[in-house]
Every structure is written in C-alpha cells, then in structure tokens.
Amino acid sequence: MTNVGLTHEELVAYYIEMTKETMPQLATTTHKNWPVRNNHCFQRIILDTLCGGIWYDHLPRPAYKHLSREQALQAVNLCNDIIAGTADLVALNRQSLLWRGKLRLG
C-alpha cells in the first residue's frame, strides 16, 4: 500500500492505529520476538527515530497533533517497515533507550 496519497489527517490516524492497536496486537501473536508490547513503547520508538533523539525535546505534546505531514508519512512507513521486518525493532528500541540513558546492560 502506498501512503503518499493520504492526507495529513489520514496519515496521523493511520500512525495512531498502527501504534495503539496493530503493533501491540502483533507483539502478542505473530511477532512475539519484539522487545516491546505496549502502545506507548511503539510510539516512543517511532517518534524518537523520526526525531533522531528524545522526541519531546523536538516536538510539543501531544506529539501526534504536532507531526508535519512528512513526519506522519515517515512514521507510517516506519511502522510498516517494522511489521514487514525490514526495519529492526530491536535496534531501534536499543537506540531509543540509549538516547534516554535507560539501556540496561547485561
């Protein structure tokens, strides 16, 4: 599915659906090897990746209301890449935790 033709509002809604419903459901069924299960974790990883650091250092809260169309498109594409296995959720989560100083060693 190509997302380029979607409106800004449709992209944001799709991002929210993917991170709040689709990805958490997949994490408990077909993608049990994922390092996270909760919607807020998926949102953290996606937003941190888009921002290249801790998202709330770059975007006002709530983030979804402040995403540009390009950021919303990137978020949707990243969600799709994670689901397809072409983006490494383990690595993305690790980087997000490193930015936040919360990486557990060992």
DSSP the chain: ---TTS-HHHHHHHHHHIIIIIHHHHHHTTTTT-S--SHHHHHHHHHHHHHTS-GGGTSPSSGGGG--HHHHHHHHHHHHHHHHTSS-HHHHHHHHHHHHT-PPP-
**Is residue 60 reached through a cis peptide bond, with omega within 30 degrees of 0 on the bond before it?**
no
CA distance 1 to 38: 25
Q: Could you tell me how far CA 2 lies from the centroid of its own chain?
A: 18
* pLDDT 10s digits, 34-58: 999 999 999 999 999 999 999 999 9
Nearest Cα neighbor of 70 from 18, 12, 13 is 12
The ranges assigned to domains in the chain are 8-100
pTM, full prediction = 0.93
pLDDT in single tens digits along all 106 residues of the chain: 568 799 999 999 999 999 999 999 999 999 999 999 999 999 999 999 999 999 999 999 999 999 999 999 999 999 999 999 999 999 999 999 999 999 866 5
